Amino acid sequence: MADVIPIRSTVLHEQVARKLRALLVEGRIAAGAKLNERELSERLQVSRTPLREAIKQLAAEGLVALLPHRGAVAIQLDEAEVQHSFELMAALEGLSGELAAQRISDAELQDIQALHFEMMAAFTRRDLSAYYRLNAQIHAAINAAAKNPVLTRSYAQTNARLQALRFRSNQDERKWKRAVKEHSLMIDALAARDGPGLRELLITHLNHKRDVVLEMMRAGTLAIGSKA
């Protein structure tokens, strides 16, 4: 039996979704795998009702596909979809950064700097799970600081499909170190309110992520198989 992840019965389905999202993003549920409700209910120690609601939420986010005669399946992107999704994500991240540099408040900047400090501590511990969680919060906070709700909706929808791939792109030590250095430069650019510079850094950062993922897919260390 896989690791048991207990959840109190009183929590809402959003908290079940958070646990299930982590399993998908961190690859503990493989891309293309069917989500077995009985096994997940036991693993998460919840009834099927909040689990089903959580699965519907993740399907809306794009992490899960609901297929006729198969049920819920963890999404699996092919190489072309990865390229196209990262291309769009780089544009969204770049615009988020440029607008955030113009519109961010001092309090928002301080919050992002604090998250960056925590993320660096997680990197020092080589705690990839904590690092990724904080990393995602930083990117989301930069997007929020752009103060464009239409951009935020597009960002969230596109990013959901790439979360698992972004997580795995840090599993190579050298490339992880490069990503950390890029993040430090991003925070400096944001603090300097350098919109064009931050935009360029974010686009380069996402392109590096894309290249790592495609390299892994082509090497067979990240299966692409048939799509969910």
Find the CATH number of the domain harbouring 162.
1.20.120.530
Q: Assess whether 186 and 108 both reside in one domain.
A: yes
DSSP string, 133-188: HHHHHHHHHHHHHT--HHHHHHHHHHHHHHHHHHHHTT-SHHHHHHHHHHHHHHHH
Domain containing 18 equals 13-74
With cut-offs at 50, 70 and 90, classify the pLDDT of residue 194.
very high
Domain presence at residue 62: yes
How far, in whole angstroms, is CA 49 from its chain's centroid? Answer: 26
55-93 confidence digits (pLDDT tens): 998 888 878 888 888 889 888 888 998 999 999 999 999
With cut-offs at 50, 70 and 90, classify the pLDDT of residue 225.
very low
Return the percentage of the chain with pLDDT > 90, whole number.
Answer: 50
Count of other CB atoms within 10 angstroms of residue 139: 24
